[in-house]
Structures are given as structure tokens and as C-alpha cells.
Amino acid sequence: MEINEGNPLFFATSSPRRKQILDMINLEFDFIEPIGDERTKMDQESIFDYVESLAIQKAKSIVGKVPSNSYVFGSDTVVFFEDRVIGKPNNKLDAVKTLRSLASTSHSVITSVCGYDISNDLVVVDSVETKVYMRDFDDIEIKSYVESGDPMDKAGSYAIQNDFFYPVEGIKGCYFSVVGLPICAFLEILTQLNLESIIDVDRNQGDFIKCTKCVMLCSVGKP
């Protein structure tokens, strides 16, 4: 589905999950891998300011590689547990340690999305926080999951959508934010940038229903 005519649309991401979400809801973007390394959070910086700065950094990192009349987008997701950011694991041992610490606990997943209208130098950014409740998995399950390789490119060392490990017991908030791209916030950004889009919610109702108090479902009269 084309959401804009005349201005190219680019998403700065190397994440297959974000690409899958955009493909699932039938939005057409060109993808470019963001340039540069992510910085670490400063001590006095709020977690939201931090994540939003990363999303903006990703979007703006590709400006020199696209036409000057483009819209570019970026997104970043962090796991926030016991007042610290948990990023992607450095190795398998790190993944095991992280999963052990998260078992039977709760944490926040915060995803920020940035849209940048290059021509007008306009930045629009939004964030979604979801509370995630992890189930009580044991060491055998953890080691088997880590050996599968799935945790190695994911913040918090897990994927909520993994049916083999099934790490999450429940959430309060946006399911897609935990996967990597909150559709509700993304559509709001498109609206603020005067880009129009229509998403077939009924087609993807099985996924939207995983969100608690989902604004996508409410917008079409769903419970």
C-alpha cells in the first residue's frame, strides 16, 4: 500500500522484525541499515529521552544516502529492568545470565519511533511503554533457547513471539512495541507528517488482540 505520492519513504533498520511488521500491515518502505553505533545512556538521562534519541539518531543517520525530499524513519527498543538498560547479549553466557535474572519478574519494554521530514527539517517522535511479565522458566529451558540462537540479536535476550520458548506470561500495553514497532504510535507519526494510511485491522485482528487496551481495535469499534 502506498501511503505517500511523490516523496520517497525510507526506514533506517536492519531488524527483520520491523520489516515483517511493516510488511504484515502492507506498508511499503525502502530499508537502509542505520549508520553508526548506539550510545550508552547517561546517568541523569530519563529512559524515554534516551530511547527517543536513539530512534532520532537512526533516522537521521541515513539522510545523506537518500533524496533530499524523502521522509526517513527510525525506531529503537530497550528493556528497562531494575533501573538499568538491558541491551542485546554480548555472547551466549550473557544471554543466559540475562534470562535467569528476568525469569518470574516484570520489566518495561520501551520502543520509540521517529519520523523525519527532511525537506522541512521536521522531526516527530513518540514512545510506547509496555509492562512485560515473564514466566518461570528453568535453566534447561534457558540453555536450550540460547543454543537456538534466537536471543542473540534481541534486547533482553528474548523474543515475545517465540513459540518454542514462550518467555512471556502476560503484558500490559502494546504487543507490537515489544516485538519492535508499535503500530499505534507509528500511525500517529504518519498522521502528524501528513502522510495518510489505511490499515486493515480485521485482517490482523489476531495480532492486535494481543495488545491490552489496543487503540487500533478501539478505533474500529472492537472491545
CATH code where residue 168 lies: 3.90.950.10
Query: No. of H helices and E strands in the chain?
Result: 8, 7
**∠ CA 13-39-91, rounded to 5°:** 75
Exposed, middle or buried by CB within 10 Å (0-12, 13-18, 19+), for 142?
Answer: buried
Asked if the structure places residue 48 within a domain, the reply is: yes
Asked if the structure places residue 2 within a domain, the reply is: no
| Span 89-131, pLDDT tens digits | 999 999 999 999 999 999 999 999 999 999 999 999 999 999 9
Q: How many domains does the chain have?
A: 1
**Are the C-beta atoms of residues 19 and 28 closer than 8 Å to each other?**
no
Distance, in Å, from the CA atom of 188 to the CA atom of 205, rounded to the nearest integer, reads 19
- Domain span at residue 167 reads 9-217
76 is an active site residue: yes
Asked if the structure places residue 1 within a domain, the reply is: no
| Span 149-177, pLDDT tens digits | 999 999 999 999 998 999 999 999 899 99
Asked if the structure places residue 126 within a domain, the reply is: yes
**Are the C-beta atoms of residues 45 and 78 closer than 8 Å to each other?**
no
Per-residue confidence (pLDDT) for residue 145, from 0 to 100: 97
Distance, in Å, from the CA atom of 134 to the CA atom of 103, rounded to the nearest integer, reads 6
Asked if the structure places residue 134 within a domain, the reply is: yes
Asked if the structure places residue 39 within a domain, the reply is: yes
Measured from the Cβ of residue 107, the count of other Cβ atoms closer than 10 Å reads 18
Asked if the structure places residue 20 within a domain, the reply is: yes
Asked if the structure places residue 222 within a domain, the reply is: no
Name the pairing type of β-strands 71-81 and 9-12: parallel
Identify the band that residue 223 occupies on the pLDDT scale cut at 50, 70 and 90.
very low
Per-residue confidence (pLDDT) for residue 3, from 0 to 100: 62
**Exactly one of 30, 76, 136, 139 is catalytic; which is it?**
76
